Amino acid sequence: MKAMRSGLIRRAKSGDATAMEEIVKLYYDDIYHFLCRKLPNYMDAQDIAQDVFLKLAAGINTYQEKGKLKNYLFQMALNASRDFYRRTNHNACTLNESADICSDSMPLEQMMEMVERAEIVKVALNKLPEYQKDVIVLRFYHDLAFKDIALITDTNISSTKSRYRQGVDKLKILLKEVF
């Protein structure tokens, strides 16, 4: 799999547009859903996700394969979301997740209950400091290893694990109040 992705990067660097399209197909959903959890609305998430891939395409020749491309894209998305908040003077990130949990085959009552629970978790997550929320979102929603999260957030592994543990502990307290 790594060799295939390395080949995609090599092809993209040589100007192969279909290679860049394949990279977008491979990673767009992950980056978009991450940004949906970071930004106030889905339109902003879509715009910034597109910007991330446009920046990758524009700078593909300078990209150095020092790690996983997926981590690099998450790091770009994280930085782009931070830039968005600086640019727009927003100071609170919101977590949007109800779109991820709904299914056409799910009974309406079950869907509504899941959305309600997701809203409660969203509110609790949004009360955490940004650095803890980022680690929890990348770990729970994107199933990334602590090593990868540390690279994305530009911290060491022990700090990443500490942020995760502290965030989870705070979440437990916040959710215990609700339930």
Annotation: CATH topology of 97-179: Arc Repressor Mutant, subunit A (1.10.10)
Q: Does residue 37 register a pLDDT over 80?
A: yes
| CATH top class, domain 1-94 | mainly alpha
* Model pLDDT for residues 113-128, shown as the tens digit of each residue: 766 777 788 888 889 9
**Residue 98 burial by Cβ neighbours in a 10 Å radius (0-12, 13-18, 19+):** middle
What is the model's pLDDT at position 79? 94
* Model pLDDT for residues 150-161, shown as the tens digit of each residue: 999 999 999 999
Q: Region 138-143: what's the mean pLDDT? A: 92
On average, the pLDDT of the chain sits at 85
Would you kindly state where each structural domain of the chain is located, as residue ranges? 1-94, 97-179
Q: Does residue 98 register a pLDDT over 50?
A: no
* Model pLDDT for residues 2-35, shown as the tens digit of each residue: 556 668 889 999 988 899 999 999 999 999 999 9
Q: Do domains 1-94 and 97-179 have the same CATH topology?
A: no
For the whole model, what pTM was predicted? 0.73
* Model pLDDT for residues 58-93, shown as the tens digit of each residue: 999 998 888 899 999 999 999 999 999 888 875 544
